[in-house]
Amino acid sequence: MAISLHSAWSKICPADALIEQGDGIRFVISLVEGPIPAFLLRIDGQARAYLNRCSHVPVELDWDEGKFLDASGRSIVCATHGAVYDAGSGRCQGGPCRGRGLQPVACREIDGWIEVEATASRHA
């Protein structure tokens, strides 16, 4: 289930900035526990958003700023321990995630923008 804090939507980036199977766009989401890094990807034409937190150990996933995907562009790979997640669903595909997937964040594409359902701001 995607994180849904309330009905507020935050604009993260223009829709055309999110390239199919390209680099992720990082942003920060405000949760009860404080600000948490998150990211957007475009997979199969759809915007996908996840917390930038491995389910194995809560470390950020990208191996370099915005670099989440493997060479195929279909899997997210944790740079720290190699957990592999399906980029379209966030489900664990292998490695130390042991069946635990990524935490999705509700997102939508509307009026030329990608928005997330939460209090969020673009990561600098």
Q: What is the mean pLDDT of residues 38-63?
A: 96
pLDDT digits (tens, 9 = 90+) for 9-28: 999 999 999 999 999 999 99
Q: Which amino acid is at 121?
A: S
pTM of the model: 0.90
* Nearby residues of 54 by Cβ (< 8 Å), 6 or more positions away: 60, 61, 78, 80, 81, 83, 97, 102
pLDDT digits (tens, 9 = 90+) for 82-106: 999 999 999 999 999 999 999 999 9
pLDDT digits (tens, 9 = 90+) for 25-40: 999 998 888 899 999 9
**Minimal CA–CA distance to 38: which of 7, 8, 3, 5?**
3
**What is the model's pLDDT at position 32?**
82
Chain centroid to Cα 59, Å, comes to 13
The structural domains of the chain, ordered by start, are 10-122 (2.102.10.10)
**Minimal CA–CA distance to 93: which of 103, 105, 83?**
83
**Minimal CA–CA distance to 63: which of 72, 44, 117, 54?**
54
Q: Would you give the end-to-end CA distance of the chain in angstroms?
A: 27
